[in-house]
Amino acid sequence: MVMLSSSTSEYYAVNDRPVKLVPTEEGGMEVLVLNWKTGDFERDMSYLSRCYDPSQDVDQFTEEQFNNYIAQLRQNIQPPNL
């Protein structure tokens, strides 16, 4: 089980893709990544190491900055044709 170092969420953009690390009640964490097509967050644990990899293009955000970034990105996401 992966443990988050704090009890609060962490917010990143890895190569411009929004990623949030969310602590669980059990003491672990969920790694949630924005799906570019739907605008929804999906679990993708492979992004955990990318958030802390100095060779990656990573930006860390406050929660407010992250929410503003998400709102801006979602304006450009087209819903799939049903």
pTM above 0.85, yes or no: no
- What are the pLDDT digits (tens) for 11-30? 999 999 999 999 998 888 99
Location of structure tokens 């690390």: 21
pLDDT above 90 coverage of the chain, percent = 61
Residue 54 is classified by DSSP as T
47's CB contacts (< 8 A; 6+ apart) are: 14, 17, 19, 31, 33
**Alpha helix (H) residue ranges in 1-82:** 47-51, 63-74
What are the residues facing 21 on neighbouring strands? Answer: 10, 31
